[in-house]
Amino acid sequence: MMTLNYNNPDLSTEERVSSLLSLMSLEEKIGQLCQSPMLEYDSKKQEYLSQVRSGLVGSRILADTAWAGNAPGETVDPEQINEIQRVAVEQSRLGIPVIFARDVIYGQSTVLPIPLAQSCSWNASLVTDAYRDVALEASSLGINWTFAPMMDVVRDPRWGRVIESFGEDPLLNGAMAAAVVKGFQGDDLASPGSLVSCAKHFVGYGASESGCDYDTTEISENTLANVYLPPFKAAINAGVKTFMSGFNDLGGTPVTSSKDLINGWLKKDHGFDGFVVSDWGSISDLHHFRVARDEVHAAAMALDAGVDMAMTSEAYQDHLHTALEAGLVTIQQIDDAVSRVLTVKFEAGLFEHPYVDAEKAQLCQRAPEHTNRAKELAQQSMVLLKNRDNLLPLVQNETKVAVVGPHAHTQRQHLGSWCLDGKSDDVVSIYQGIKDLIGEQNVLTEYSALTDEWVESAHRADVVVLCVGESHRSSGEARNIAELKLPSGQEEAIEAIANTGKPFVVVQCGGRPMPSQAISRHADAHLMAWQCGTETGAAVADLLFGRACPSGKLTMTFPKSTGQIPIYYNKKPLGKMRDFADYRGYKDVDRAPLYPFGYGLSYAKFRYSDVELMSVADGKVKIGFTLSNLSPIKATEICQLYFSRAYSSCTRPEKELIGFERVDIEACSSRHVEFEVDIDGLGYFETIADYVNPKSAVTFLVGPNSDDLLPLECTSSQLYQTEVN
Ligand code: BGC
């Protein structure tokens, strides 16, 4: 049989893959399943390039530690990438290009808000556009593949990695994850401006016990199916090309060895045809977890479960051959994994465009349209939590503003922990942003760390902008905290400013919802600014002075105290004593959060009214309502639709988000808004395999946040044309 030329782009990907596979030796096949890290390239270059030449390196991860986000290490060097690629393409026997990967989590040179903040925009299309920019910047440098989005549902803000998540709701998480996948991969994965995206961490890692990273996870099948898996389904639907298996042990089975989840749920049941990479060393961890007898067994278990590529190659490079000889895996399993990796390489156009133009790469970094979009996203990501007596927006030129506090001048902090290449110098500090907007003559500040100097500035100002919050080193991978409280001294600093009697706004920076007694008691206004990337200061200034109207809404419940964790809006009903407030929750703190999921203020005031069932047809239900803007300013409101069922065969949350929309509304006007919902989507999983939707009456709930909703009862006969209850 004649072998087809796999380099011919006119052949189908399938033909190219099978032709190439038929020519590969076992060593070359295993090589495609190995991803090696950066590690001292200059000193080990010859050794490394000789491995590439022998076809032993399928992928290179551009990271030099297992905590890349915490210790960025080397930057990306397009010349180095070209050098390695040249050896792979021009000097290896079959010329298979290496796929270069880097954690481009929320930005390259232009850095966007952390994903938790981005999700507060509830603006999937802006997120897609912003990630297109990121893809362009990163791919121009030679990066082909990124390990994002992370779609771990999170309910515990002590866990440092909440910064990478889109919050506590499965629907919103899925919508944002899909938006990121579309942004990275674009319409054409082979176009030079696209990056292969990776859905991670499959699955359940966000439930790390006690908020400790890497800890065990215990999730019931029902919760796994209804809460943790749906965002991954959304990523598959969006066409994501790779998945990453998590570090976590899930109820006795580390997910990296879970045949049921990877080969079963992901590949077989959901037809995922891309490839799965392990997390950093998570294959060797199977030995550490003692579910594998040794490293060979660990490699075999992972491949058998469906993990196609080993991040940090040794697991497969050193042991897969032995596992095959011992009959622990089959050559068909290896071939399947190799085919998946090659398919993505062909689809990503690597065979056609293996190199980058190092000079051109610089031209698109921090292009003005990228920074403008990053600023818009930062404005939409920040959440106004309090605005007593409408202190905000501040009046430009009539006010002398003191901008003080530990974050008044910080820059690196706003890049968050998972930022490998963004530069601190590119970050607009909060002081800088305000000064640029209102002029230096209107701003007082203090560079000193002495809080009494801040107080002195406050005394001389009309209004104070006090910038507080945790360091970026308190969140991210392996950076958990046991107590949700501001760093020491900040509560006192807030009180000291309050004691001046000057009106003051607290701008809170950080990677997680974090309550503060002093902010709650004393601040006149409170803006949650998260870690919003390179354009942070400009966005804060625009919001404080009304150049932009706040619209962001929380996607993670803001607790009152650490003891309330886990706290999330989509709770199941309480049992006994539910009707007696005194017996609910705790004796020392009530059960309600400080701010609920979906909460956020605007400078406009909105009213919701006239919720009505518009129609039920073709499997869809339409719910309409009137949104009124009672204020003389144009604004945007994030309208939310929840529902709850009168009956279900297993317990369900008291309410679940089922729709949302950013609605622009003119000053002093009303608009009719409609939500359309698939009736099929009102169901739930009884088990992973059984999706059911028993006919039942349903209450739809419309409003500005999960705690302030107008009900619309809908009988089962209205929904299903049959009366049940
Ligand atoms: C993290 C992943 C990351 C990988 C590569 C791991 O420690 O869990 O999210 O993509 O490192 O840097």
Question: What pLDDT digit, counting tens, does each position of 583-636 carry?
Answer: 888 999 988 999 999 999 999 999 999 999 999 999 999 999 999 999 999 999
Tokens in use for 568? 């999330």
Most informative mutation of 280, 311, 421 for ligand 1 (most atoms within 8 A of CB): 280
| CB distance 387 to 506 below 8 Å | no
pLDDT tens for each residue of 469-522: 999 999 999 999 999 999 999 999 999 999 999 999 999 999 999 999 999 999
pLDDT tens for each residue of 308-364: 999 987 899 999 999 999 999 999 999 999 999 999 999 999 999 999 998 888 899
Q: How far apart are the CA of 105 and the centre of ligand 1, in A? A: 10
Tokens in use for 577? 């004593």
| CB distance 201 to 177 below 8 Å | no
Helix and strand element counts for the chain (H, E):
21, 25
Average pLDDT over residues 140-154: 98
Instruction: Outline where DSSP puts E strands in 7-152.
Output: 34-36, 59-61, 99-102, 145-146
Atom 6 of ligand 1, residue of closest alpha carbon: 280
**Residues sharing a CB contact under 8 Å with residue 142, sequence separation 6 or more, in sequence order:** 76, 78, 81, 82, 85, 100, 355, 356, 361
Phi-psi region of 53 (alpha: psi -120 to 50; beta: other; left: phi over 0): alpha
- Is the CB–ligand 1 distance for residue 280 below 6 Å? yes
- Is the CB–ligand 1 distance for residue 472 below 6 Å? no
The angle, 0 to 180 degrees and rounded to 10, between the axes of the packed helices 124-140 and 368-381 is 140
pLDDT attached to residue 578: 83
Q: How far apart are the CA of 69 and the centre of ligand 1, in A? A: 8
Tokens in use for 138? 């990163």
Instruction: Outline where DSSP puts E strands in 147-265.
Output: 198-202, 242-245, 249-250, 253-254
Question: How far is the C-alpha of 461 from the C-alpha of 438, rounded, in Å?
Answer: 14
- Is the CB–ligand 1 distance for residue 102 below 6 Å? no
Tokens 């400013």 -> residue: 497
Q: How far apart are the CA of 401 and the centre of ligand 1, in A? A: 42
pLDDT tens for each residue of 435-454: 999 999 999 999 999 999 99
279 catalytic per annotation: yes
pLDDT attached to residue 2: 66
Most informative mutation of 70, 309, 477, 480 for ligand 1 (most atoms within 8 A of CB): 477
Q: How far apart are the CA of 595 and the centre of ligand 1, in A? A: 31
Instruction: Outline where DSSP puts E strands in 261-341.
Output: 275-278, 310-311
Tokens in use for 359? 């000079």
DSSP state of 713: E
C-alpha distances in angstroms, 577 versus 25, 151, 646?
A: 68, 35, 20
| CB distance 20 to 32 below 8 Å | no
DSSP character string of 397-417? TT--EEEESTTSS-SGGGG-S
**Residues sharing a CB contact under 8 Å with residue 526, sequence separation 6 or more, in sequence order:** 384, 385, 386, 387, 505, 506, 508, 519
CA 333 to the chain's CA centroid = 32
pLDDT attached to residue 725: 42
39 pLDDT above the threshold of 80: no
- Is the CB–ligand 1 distance for residue 418 below 6 Å? no
Number of Cβ within 10 Å of residue 95's Cβ equals 15
- Is the CB–ligand 1 distance for residue 477 below 6 Å? yes
Most informative mutation of 279, 417, 480 for ligand 1 (most atoms within 8 A of CB): 279
Question: How far is the C-alpha of 373 from the C-alpha of 543, rounded, in Å?
Answer: 15
- Is the CB–ligand 1 distance for residue 147 below 6 Å? yes
DSSP state of 284: T
pLDDT attached to residue 585: 85
Please provide the size of the chain in residues: 725
Q: Residues 343-354, buried b or exposed e (16+ Cβ, 10 A)? A: bbbbbbbbbeeb
- Is the CB–ligand 1 distance for residue 200 below 6 Å? yes
147 CA closest ligand 1 atom index? 10
135 pLDDT above the threshold of 70: yes
Q: How far apart are the CA of 134 and the centre of ligand 1, in A? A: 19
Question: Annotated catalytic residue: which of 103, 129, 249, 279?
Answer: 279
Q: How far apart are the CA of 191 and the centre of ligand 1, in A? A: 26
pLDDT attached to residue 1: 55
Q: How far apart are the CA of 246 and the centre of ligand 1, in A? A: 9
- Is the CB–ligand 1 distance for residue 419 below 6 Å? no
pLDDT attached to residue 178: 98
Q: How far apart are the CA of 335 and the centre of ligand 1, in A? A: 26
Q: Which helix (H) or strand (E) holds 467?
A: strand 463-469
Q: Which helix (H) or strand (E) holds 522?
A: helix 517-522
Question: How far is the C-alpha of 391 from the C-alpha of 138, rounded, in Å?
Answer: 41
Average pLDDT over residues 132-145: 98
pLDDT tens for each residue of 194-248: 999 999 999 999 999 999 999 999 999 999 999 999 999 999 999 999 999 999 9
Phi-psi region of 667 (alpha: psi -120 to 50; beta: other; left: phi over 0): beta
Average pLDDT over residues 264-287: 97
- For the chain, the average pLDDT equals 96
Atom 12 of ligand 1, residue of closest alpha carbon: 68
Q: How far apart are the CA of 103 and the centre of ligand 1, in A? A: 7
164 CA closest ligand 1 atom index? 9
Atom 4 of ligand 1, residue of closest alpha carbon: 280
Kindly list the strands in the beta sheet with 620-629, ordered across the sheet, starting from the edge strand earlier in the chain. 606-617, 620-629, 669-678
How wide is the angle at C-alpha 236 spanned by C-alphas 104 and 217, nearest 5°?
75
Instruction: Say whether pTM exceeds 0.95.
Output: yes
CA 3 to the chain's CA centroid = 44
**Residues sharing a CB contact under 8 Å with residue 1, sequence separation 6 or more, in sequence order:** none
**Residues sharing a CB contact under 8 Å with residue 64, sequence separation 6 or more, in sequence order:** 37, 38, 39, 40, 73, 74
105 CA closest ligand 1 atom index? 10
pLDDT tens for each residue of 666-715: 999 999 999 999 999 999 999 999 999 999 999 999 999 999 999 999 99
In terms of Cα–Cα distance, which of 416, 408, 446, 411 is closest to 426? 411
Lowest-confidence region among 64-78, 108-122, 370-384: 64-78
Q: How far apart are the CA of 63 and the centre of ligand 1, in A? A: 9
Question: How far is the C-alpha of 570 from the C-alpha of 555, rounded, in Å?
Answer: 12
- Is the CB–ligand 1 distance for residue 285 below 6 Å? no
Question: How far is the C-alpha of 720 from the C-alpha of 710, rounded, in Å?
Answer: 22
Q: How far apart are the CA of 138 and the centre of ligand 1, in A? A: 17
246 CA closest ligand 1 atom index? 8
Average pLDDT over residues 545-559: 98
What amino acid occupies position 677?
V
Most informative mutation of 35, 103, 161 for ligand 1 (most atoms within 8 A of CB): 103
Q: Residues 62-87, buried b or exposed e (16+ Cβ, 10 A)? A: bbeeeebbbebeeebebebbbebbeb
Atom 2 of ligand 1, residue of closest alpha carbon: 279
The pLDDT-based confidence of 68 (bands split at 50, 70, 90) is low
Tokens 């919720």 -> residue: 611
247 CA closest ligand 1 atom index? 8
Q: What are phi and psi of 511, to 5 degrees?
A: -105, 10
Instruction: Using a pLDDT cut of 90, give the percent of the chain over it.
Output: 92
DSSP state of 196: B
Question: How far is the C-alpha of 138 from the C-alpha of 155, rounded, in Å?
Answer: 31
**Residues sharing a CB contact under 8 Å with residue 459, sequence separation 6 or more, in sequence order:** 500, 502
Question: How far is the C-alpha of 470 from the C-alpha of 509, rounded, in Å?
Answer: 7
Q: How far apart are the CA of 279 and the centre of ligand 1, in A? A: 6
198 CA closest ligand 1 atom index? 10
Average pLDDT over residues 49-73: 85
Cα Dmax for the chain: 87
DSSP character string of 11-39? S-HHHHHHHHHHH--HHHHHHHTEEE---
Kindly list the strands in the beta sheet with 310-311, ordered across the sheet, starting from the edge strand earlier in the chain. 145-146, 99-102, 59-61, 34-36, 310-311
Most informative mutation of 143, 147, 247, 282 for ligand 1 (most atoms within 8 A of CB): 147
- Is the CB–ligand 1 distance for residue 279 below 6 Å? yes
63 pLDDT above the threshold of 60: yes
110 pLDDT above the threshold of 90: yes
- Is the CB–ligand 1 distance for residue 164 below 6 Å? no
67 CA closest ligand 1 atom index? 7
Pairing of strands 383-387, 525-530: antiparallel
Pairing of strands 708-714, 463-469: unpaired
Question: How far is the C-alpha of 130 from the C-alpha of 60, rounded, in Å?
Answer: 26
Dihedral angle at the C-alpha atoms of 58, 64, 66, 71, nearest 10 degrees? -150
- For the chain, the first-to-last Cα distance in angstroms comes to 66
Atom 8 of ligand 1, residue of closest alpha carbon: 279
724 pLDDT above the threshold of 50: no
Question: How far is the C-alpha of 183 from the C-alpha of 239, rounded, in Å?
Answer: 11
Radius of gyration of the chain (CA): 26
